[in-house]
Structure 1
């Protein structure tokens, strides 16, 4: 039987790991540059921590972990006979793999609230698991790269997150990203002024699909959800919402003049947009997108989504928003927060398609000592120790070459790994160093080699 891996998981080659690490390190550097502190949480949590926090669909996608030992021995016989999987799961599984980093973060804040200095700026880069149907850009095991601030309701945090997105994508050389922004209060205000306040979720879920199913599809879905034609008529301007961010703010301000909540949303968005206009961005564009809804049940203020450069057809590569009571699910009320996430796997696909990995090098030795003469082994190992202590990556080819073919194999290794310097032999206290790029050779002491290679 041929070995295989579970669907929705992947092996990564040395090249892929080097490229992924390049993205990780770039994001991590920016997180720390903006003052975020790292935390880590366990790969699995108590089921009670996760279940019921993501809705019915989310609960279905959580990987449950069977209790150790004879897990069926304590199960209720009647439940086993009835084959009621939902009830049985609670009896045979007490733990589950984490579904995201946000709920574990909320649990962390509540559990460690007396040790944390608020506002607390944290970042987390760890894998998560979802029992989803695998497809392009969607996996069952994948990394999330999250940054959140809890304990502050200042809109300067939203401004900083726009700058953070711009900083990361500029450093990755992903030029032309669009940071889309909206506000939950605006969506609530629109539903209120068109008389569909009781249909807020249905209204926004349909509106969020405008770029996928078009105007007619959105209208049809709204009607199917019981939203009146009169209400839909009032919302028509949103289907063709064009102009600058300032034009859109002005239109929204007029549309929502009778809604206190909607007007507050416009005010909050105006602060973020005007601040970014004043500060400027490096390579990204900030766009007010009134159809953006992203998990409306969850967010209470600003909503973010990052679109890849137009030449790459892929879903969002980042997203997030403001939430006013995340920790409330664990009993700590009124702790406001805002956070964003980077979609590592989609960012990788974007960079691959744009040919942006050409400058990412695999880890490799700067100097390779060939192994042609057994008597030179100790001298070479001592020299390697000196080079490594000087911060120069070095290694000895492990197998001794006793024939021309074996020597050719070592040179082929040098060529395949594109190693810059090779030590071929030892002559007294000097080493014959060859530059593989210009073919020049010279005899150097180990001290001279350290200076030369550095």
Structure 2
């Protein structure tokens, strides 16, 4: 017996209605990207391994899907390397490419390769799939889409303000009210690491701190100690775990904590400026909040960092995030090109909209009208009518065979078709066609040579 087919864990098939719902999100995001002046680009689904490795920290590198070289790749490995059974030494010999982990590092590579063709500041958006060898769970997949917008070549904080507005505009149009746009600044985290004497362990400190809302304070402290951060240093950082009040109250507390750190105070000043500008402009439905434990465990962030939380009524991880990376292109040899960007988590946004019943009902309707098939001659006339309706902009189709009429009506019901056309022998003789409203049952006749009269009623 043939083996029953399956798909890899963490991947999914999408039905027509699911694709329609996903396209609804994508088209909304894309519209606002373009409204804000971003231009589209695309990059390959896989990159050279050395483009990706070392850019996301130790945990990120572990989640990168590597692609085996083609051909008999094992024969090209020397006996010593092969017998060592060390993935660190074996991997470079058998895999030279990897599936992209995100869209930001490939974008940095793109900017460096095409720098002489771009007009700076360059605002780009990109909507493509990425892959991560993560443990699949609700809202977390191994293959998923990212919807990114980035600006390179401009270091003004106005860009951060615009990204807050962009998040707010998209979620407002999707009807997803009550989202929280959380902000922090990596300079603040660097300043804290400096003040507590753990500057050389900044990456370990931020990676652990970023897990606070997932594993709790004690587990975070335990992980910090395991990475070599002393108990006294952790105690000095403990005010971070308990900060309360509005953003200005917390920023004032940070000023006291960071009084001896210039870089930390610089981060506080940047956040104060951004919050002030956003407050003067106002938001439609989202709220902006300071989260001093937000770290986003990617090494390339250097300034403001964003993370978007779904409304409290929905149990879901972040549905968007991003930040400033003032020298990401430097990893590819192009120094001192500032950048900042955000990402929308399409798949998680989908789950939230589904749970909140916020998708438009019309998305389940893939046809405007279905023409029933009553036989050979009637079918020919119906096909001509359907062709005219399509030219008039309707999504129209003809049932392909002259099977029993109840079966054709049942098909129309399943497809949620609002109008069904009846064009039988009687209608051919009178040069007309009958349209049945599937919701009300009402029927009206129209001249066969004037289908636009029917189109005009929709």
Common topology (TM > 0.5): yes
1:3-14 map, 5 Å: 3-14=5-16
Q: Once the 2 structures are TM-superposed, how far is the Cα of residue 242 of structure 1 from its aligned partner?
A: 1.4
The one-character-per-residue Cα deviations of 1:109-157 (angstroms, maximum 9, x if unpaired) are 1111111111111111111112222222222211111111111101000
Does 88-97 or 338-347 show the bigger shift? Answer: 88-97
The residue that corresponds to 1:323 in the other structure is: 325
Write out per-residue CA displacement over residues 251-273 of structure 1, whole angstroms, 9 at most, x where no aligned residue: 22333233211111111101110
For residue 424 of structure 1, the aligned residue among 418, 422, 425 is: 422
Q: CA deviation at 1:64?
A: 2.4
Q: Does 1:265 align with 2:263?
A: no
Which of 325, 347, 350 lines up with 1:348 in the alignment?
Answer: 350
Q: Which of the residues 52, 55, 59 maps onto 1:53?
A: 55
C-alpha spacing 1:19/1:6, structure 2 compared with 1 (3 Å): same
The equivalent position to 1:375 in structure 2, one of 370, 374, 377, is: 377
Task: Tell me the TM-score normalised to structure 2 length.
Answer: 0.92
Distance, in Å, in 1 between the alignment partners of 2:84 and 2:229 is 41
Match of 1:19 in 2: 21
Count of aligned pairs: 450
**Cα distance change, pair 278–350 in 1 and its aligned pair in 2 (3 A):** same
TM-score by length of 1: 0.93
Alignment of structure 1 residues 134-283 onto 2, 5 Å: 134-283=136-285
Q: Cα deviation per residue 1:405-431 (whole Å; 9 max; x = unaligned)?
A: x21100101111221111112334321
3-state secondary structure, aligned to 1:431:
strand
The CA deviation at 1:63 is: 2.2
Residues 321, 394 of structure 1: alpha-carbon distance in 2 compared, 3 angstrom cutoff: same
Q: 1:45 to 1:213 in 2, by over 3 A?
A: closer
Rate the CA distance shift 1:414–1:360 in 2: closer, same or farther, 3 A: closer
Taking a change above 3 Å as real, the CA distance of residues 193 and 65 of structure 1, as seen in their structure-2 partners, is: closer
CA gap of 1:237–1:44, structure 2 versus 1, over 3 A, is closer
Deviations 1:197-247 (A, max 9, x none): 334334333433333344444444445555455444443433321111122
- Tell me the secondary structure at the aligned position of residue 107 of structure 1: helix
Per mean C-alpha deviation after superposition, the further-off stretch among 406-415 and 444-453 is 444-453
Paired position in structure 1 for 2:309: 307
What does the per-residue CA deviation read over 1:320-346, in whole Å, with 9 as the maximum and x for residues that have no partner?
Answer: 100011111111111110011111111
Gaps of 5+ in 2: none
1:384 to 383, 386, 406: 386
**CA shift for structure 1 position 27:** 1.0
Q: Greater CA deviation, 87-96 or 289-298?
A: 87-96
For the residues of structure 1 that align with 2:444 and 2:184, how far apart are their CA atoms? 64
Task: For 1:350 and 1:432, locate their aligned partners in 2 and report how far apart those are by CA, in whole Å.
Answer: 42
Say if 1:233 and 1:67 are closer, same or farther in 2 by CA, change over 3 A: closer
Aligned: 1:112 with 2:114: yes
Q: Are positions 1:435 and 2:433 aligned together?
A: no
User: Structure 2: how far apart are the matches of 1:86 and 1:28?
Assistant: 40
Tell me the SS of whatever aligns to 1:115: coil
Higher mean C-alpha deviation, range 207-216 or range 257-266: 207-216
